[in-house]
């Protein structure tokens, strides 16, 4: 480590706040700003720079967030889908780079952070998909105990819920919020309401809990790098999109439109309020603060959703004999396939093998190909062949000598209405960042190099992103020239203990159910 750079980094008193809004889209933000409903995001945009943040080709959230936090492409950091575990991580994330220079990190909610590990003092709360409830410090693991909003009410006793609510007070949860949470718990226990009636309320409540606990811990530890992740703008878009954009679809229930049509705008409004409160609290603590608001992708309506079927990808993988060789994630009508092999050559061999098998599946009567396949970089994309609009689903196909039907592999019910698009958001605000500046596009790989350079920390040559020089005033670079190192290396201590492996095994089915409910698995 270069001593002069090390000395300069340690002397730098700047603080960085990174807020992740999963799936946040300018398509929703700009109209709400015009209506005066997102004053805090608008203020940050007026005070700083903003623009489009382009996602990876796959747009799979854990992979994209890891790219944001490492500055690297998925094939270079090792996280490719929801079923990939932290022990597959091949690159250090942003907070670990800060820790290398003796800095304090505070992290809440980001994916692939279980089990939580930090080199220095600080705090780390794993994500809502984490297998276990462990946190740093251990005292806040109650938040993880209530993270699983789909199962928690079935398993929690009244006594346990009361204990959690009491512990919440210590970490900034107000009595009015606790009262609302208590009523929600009692109502769901007693009335068993419809899923859509409760889910968005639970997501909003969890965001409020996360915000308060993150802020309280930040005040306690005063981290040099603070990062918090909110999933609501993504998970609600998956479930309520057709009610938000009913004109893009046919036969959306009018009562549901009236009841749920504002769920998506409302989560943006609540997220804006949370961002405003967090930023105000941080600015009270720190005079030299950079704020970054980013999303991993945007959102849009599925194209021609009435006619394009959904691939039953798990059944397809099983029938062509590839279950032990690949993993998958559904994004809208597309399925993203990754090979589980260790090295790149073997991965490409597996993907080519699967592509060859899938391309041979043809309807026996019409002679039409069932799937459209594309090999892109290090993954295989499978989608329904466009010609299947309106064609017969009872036609036979032959797979490995077995006679099956087209609807064994294509689901014409098409439950997916909202899906990811590559255009996400980025907002940056700080003392040296240009005011009311709009940049055209940046890549998700650019966030970590930019934050490092803003803190006098060297940018690694093995990163795939670049520093967003254009968003700061020119004089900044005269005083803070960009330095480079070869690499920050890989993460430390990512191998699982036997107990952790048992926890992962026990939680796999629950994780699959949650991913299925969001459309990521079938």
> What secondary structure does DSSP assign to 306-352, as a single string?
TTPPEE-HHHHHHHTT-TTTEEEEEETTEEEEEE--SSHHHHHHHHH
Confidence of residue 82 (pLDDT cuts 50, 70, 90): confident
Q: What is the pLDDT of residue 397?
A: 86
- Write out pLDDT tens, residues 103-135: 999 999 999 998 899 999 999 999 888 888 889
Task: Give the three-state DSSP class for 44.
Answer: helix
Strand partners of residue 106? 123, 226
- Higher-confidence position of 188 and 470: 470
Burial label, 298 (beta-carbon count in 10 A; 0-12, 13-18, 19+): buried
Mean pLDDT of 486-498: 82
Mean pLDDT of 469-477: 95
Confidence of residue 332 (pLDDT cuts 50, 70, 90): low
Q: What is the pLDDT of residue 151?
A: 44
Mean pLDDT of 394-422: 80
pLDDT at 517 over 70: no
CA-based end-to-end distance of the chain: 48
pLDDT at 392 over 90: no
How many C-beta atoms lie closer than 10 Å to residue 61's C-beta? 29
- Higher-confidence position of 34 and 327: 34
pLDDT at 138 over 50: yes
User: What is the chain's mean pLDDT, rounded?
Assistant: 87
Confidence of residue 17 (pLDDT cuts 50, 70, 90): very high
Confidence of residue 311 (pLDDT cuts 50, 70, 90): confident
Looking from the CA of 320 toward its CB, the CA atoms found within 13 Å total 22
Cα separation of 85 and 352, whole Å? Answer: 24
Residue located via tokens 């993880």:
144
Cα separation of 194 and 491, whole Å? Answer: 43
Q: Which range (8-17, 112-121, 333-342) has the least confidence? A: 333-342
Reading the block at residue 30, the tokens are: 């700009």
Confidence of residue 86 (pLDDT cuts 50, 70, 90): confident
Cα separation of 290 and 468, whole Å? Answer: 14
Strand partners of residue 130? none
Cα separation of 248 and 256, whole Å? Answer: 15
Task: Give the three-state DSSP class for 53.
Answer: strand
pLDDT at 379 over 70: yes
Give the residue from 18, 24, 19 showing the smallest Cα distance to 421: 24
Mean pLDDT of 219-229: 97
- Write out pLDDT tens, residues 155-192: 556 666 677 777 777 787 877 777 777 677 766 766 67
Give the residue from 96, 97, 101, 100 showing the smallest Cα distance to 113: 96
Task: Give the three-state DSSP class for 143.
Answer: helix
Q: For the chain, what is the radius of gyration of the CA atoms?
A: 23
The DSSP code for 118 is -
The H or E element spanning position 314 is helix 313-319
How many C-beta atoms lie closer than 10 Å to residue 179's C-beta? 11
pLDDT at 477 over 80: yes
Q: Is the peptide bond before 115 cis (omega within 30 degrees of 0)?
A: yes
Cα separation of 464 and 377, whole Å? Answer: 15
pLDDT at 216 over 70: yes
14-to-430, 452, 504 alpha-carbon distances in Å? 10, 11, 38
Share of the chain above pLDDT 70, in %: 87
141-to-130, 216, 501 alpha-carbon distances in Å? 12, 14, 19
- Write out pLDDT tens, residues 30-44: 999 999 999 999 999
Q: What is the pLDDT of residue 150?
A: 41
């Amino acid at each position: 480590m270069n001593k002069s750079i090390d000395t300069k980094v340690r002397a730098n008193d700047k603080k960085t706040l990174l807020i992740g809004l999963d799936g946040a889209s300018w398509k929703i933000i700009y109209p709400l700003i015009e209506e005066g409903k997102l004053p805090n995001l608008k203020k940050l945009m007026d005070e700083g720079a903003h623009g489009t943040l382009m996602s990876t080709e796959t747009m799979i959230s854990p992979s994209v967030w890891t790219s944001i936090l490492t500055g690297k492409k998925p094939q270079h950091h090792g996280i490719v889908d929801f079923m990939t575990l932290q022990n597959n991580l091949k690159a250090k994330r942003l907070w670990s780079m800060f820790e290398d220079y003796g800095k304090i990190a505070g992290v809440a909610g980001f994916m692939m952070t279980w089990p939580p590990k930090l080199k220095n003092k600080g705090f780390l709360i794993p994500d809502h998909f984490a297998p276990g409830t462990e946190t740093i410090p251990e005292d806040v693991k109650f938040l993880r105990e209530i993270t699983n909003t789909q199962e928690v009410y079935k398993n929690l006793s009244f006594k346990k819920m009361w204990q959690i609510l009491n512990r919440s007070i210590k970490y900034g949860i107000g009595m009015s919020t606790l009262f609302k949470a208590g009523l929600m718990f009692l109502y769901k226990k007693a009335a068993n309401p419809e899923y859509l009636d409760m889910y968005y309320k639970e997501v909003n409540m969890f965001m409020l809990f996360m915000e308060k606990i993150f802020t309280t811990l930040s005040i306690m530890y005063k981290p040099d790098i603070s990062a918090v992740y909110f999933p609501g703008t993504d998970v609600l878009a998956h479930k309520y999109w057709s009610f938000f954009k009913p004109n893009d679809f046919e036969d959306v229930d009018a009562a549901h439109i009236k009841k749920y049509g504002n769920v998506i705008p409302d989560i943006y409004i609540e997220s804006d309020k949370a961002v405003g409160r967090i930023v105000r609290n941080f600015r009270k603590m720190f005079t030299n603060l950079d704020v970054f608001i980013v999303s991993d992708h945007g959102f849009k309506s599925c194209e021609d959703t009435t006619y394009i079927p959904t691939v039953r990808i798990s059944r397809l993988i099983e029938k062509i004999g590839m279950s032990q060789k690949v993993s998958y994630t559904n994004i809208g009508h597309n399925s993203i396939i990754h090979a589980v092999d260790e090295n790149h050559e073997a991965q490409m061999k597996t993907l080519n093998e699967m592509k060859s098998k899938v391309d041979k599946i043809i309807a026996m009567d019409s002679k039409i190909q069932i799937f459209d396949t594309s090999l892109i970089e290090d993954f295989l994309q499978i989608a329904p062949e466009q010609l299947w609009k309106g064609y017969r689903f009872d036609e036979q196909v032959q797979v490995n000598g077995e006679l099956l039907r087209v609807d064994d592999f294509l689901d014409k019910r098409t439950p997916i209405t909202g899906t990811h698009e590559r255009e996400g958001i980025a907002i940056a605000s700080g003392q040296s960042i240009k005011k009311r500046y709009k940049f055209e596009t940046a890549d998700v790989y650019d966030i970590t190099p930019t934050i490092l350079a803003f803190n006098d920390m060297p940018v690694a040559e093995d990163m795939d992103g670049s520093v967003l020089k254009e968003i700061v005033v020119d004089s900044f670079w005269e005083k803070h020239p960009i330095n480079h190192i070869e690499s920050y290396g890989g993460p430390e201590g990512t191998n699982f203990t036997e107990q952790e492996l048992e926890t992962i095994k026990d939680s796999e089915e629950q994780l699959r159910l949650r991913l299925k409910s969001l459309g990521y698995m079938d």
